[in-house]
Amino acid sequence: MLSNQVITSPRRGVWRDRPSRRKRVVLALLALATILTGSYCLVSALVLFRVQEMTPPVLAAQLQERHGGLYGPAREVDLAAYKLERYGERRPDILVVGSKRLAALPGEAFAAPAYNAAGIADTVGQLAAFVRAAVASHAPKSILIGVDYWWFHPDAVAAPAPAAQRESFVGQLLDPLLWLLTGRVSLGEFVDGAFPTADATPGIGALAMLDGQGWDAYGRYEGGRSASAGATEPSLARTLHVGPSAEALKELNDLVAELNDRSIEVVLMIPPVSTSLHLALARDADNRLLPLWRDALRALGQKVFDFEDPSVLGATDCELINDISGGEVIYLRALDAIGNYGGTSLSQGIDRDITTSLIGSNADHVRVAELLPADAPTDIQFRSDCGKDK
């Protein structure tokens, strides 16, 4: 018999319910994502504030003068502004200036007040701008300029001016995640940043407070508990079949003339490179850049100390961080050699007793043991391919 009753499929109820279940799943995932994002932002903000990562460079220089410690931000900052303020705070008799190759030069080697403005110059133009600004605020007795030959390559590109605008706070919240992903900060250091202990490292900036890296009061870069920081070899360092830029030479000549007019002593130093790089440069028969550049430096009428070959300092490659960056010990040798020459305000301001003593106890090392952080492993004194027996 036929029936008028409508038969309802049980599957229809299932399909009718499915959108609501999907909606609940989506909402749950959104809630989880919101909780995770909020938690990360909270922890990230705690880390950023705790390590003072957002402190402007000029303010950081002023705080360092009052409280000591290192300045080691993990983000890119206007280093020249920081160094200029530090120079103004110290008002030294001796100014050391150059690229990051000079970052390991220790201020402890000086008997007179000195400041190392390493890292402010990648071009002659940047060097000249910084020196002019520094001298305008305080005239030192002597300026030691570390000159890099690739600054004078005719294809050298002018470095861009530092960005004036500050990154937004929301943008900076992503920075700690980038530190973790790039290995600049370990997970343990990140946790220490969020939940500091009583013996937390003093300083300003993530690298300073979490890994003990940063610029000290003298302007030297402390490499931290793991490694020393050296400059990266530029692409033009081995491209030598050209003459030096007349424009760059004129920029340096004009700067030296201005300083001479103000009775400020100028000493030029060619920093050391590795033995292999030195030999490669010397054996290049078509190398025109270096010999012509050296002739132009001597024509300036200033004292030029040529330490490109580390052997002239009695050093080995074990005292260099990499092919173009010297370590603390080799720069002590350079200062000792300058002091031994005599006859300049710079040489009179170098503490020969300290340099001789520290060189004797740290020969063939990259780092000076007496300058290491208290909790640093002793093996960071040595270059990675130079054993402790050195």
pLDDT digit of tens for each residue in the chain (390 aa)?
555 555 555 555 544 556 688 888 887 888 888 887 777 777 777 778 788 888 999 999 999 999 889 999 988 899 999 999 999 999 999 999 999 999 999 998 999 999 999 999 999 999 999 999 999 999 999 999 999 999 999 998 876 665 554 566 666 777 777 777 777 777 777 676 666 665 666 789 988 888 888 999 999 999 865 555 678 899 999 999 999 999 999 999 999 999 999 999 999 999 999 999 999 999 999 999 999 999 999 999 999 999 999 999 999 999 999 999 999 999 999 999 999 988 889 999 999 999 999 999 999 999 998 888 777 777 788 887 786 654
Check residue 61 and give left, alpha or beta (phi > 0: left; psi -120 to 50: alpha).
alpha
Strand bridging mode 221-223 / 213-215: antiparallel
Q: Does 166 map to a domain?
A: yes
Residue 208 lies in a domain: yes
Domains held by the chain: number? 1
Per-residue pLDDT, 15: 47
Give the domain range for residue 123.
50-381
Assess if residue 388 is contained within a domain. Answer: no
Structural domain includes residue 2: no
Per-residue pLDDT, 54: 87
Q: What is the three-state SS of the chain? A: CCCCCCCCCHHHHHHHHHHHHHHHHHHHHHHHHHHHHHHHHHHHHHHHHHCCCCCCHHHHHHHHHHHCCEECCCCCCCHHHHHHHHHHHHCCCEEEEECHHHCCCCHHHECCCEEEEECCCCCHHHHHHHHHHHHHHCCCCEEEEECCHHHHCCCCCCCCCCCCCCCCHHHHCCHHHHHHHHCCCCHHHHHHHHCCCCCCCCEECHHHHHHCEEECCCCCEEECCCCCCCCCCCCCCCCCCCCCCHHHHHHHHHHHHHHHHCCCEEEEEECCCCHHHHHHHHHCCCCCHHHHHHHHHHCCCCEEEECCCHHHHCCCHHHECCCCCECHHHHHHHHHHHHHHCCCHHHHCECHHHHHHHHHHHCCCCCCHHHCCCCCCHHHHCCCCCCCCC
**Cβ count near 52 (within 10 Å):** 19
Q: Is residue 194 part of a domain?
A: yes
Q: Are strands 70-71 and 265-270 parallel, antiparallel or unpaired?
A: unpaired
Is residue 16 included in any domain, yes or no? no
In a domain, 36, yes or no: no
Q: Would you say residue 312 lies in a domain?
A: yes
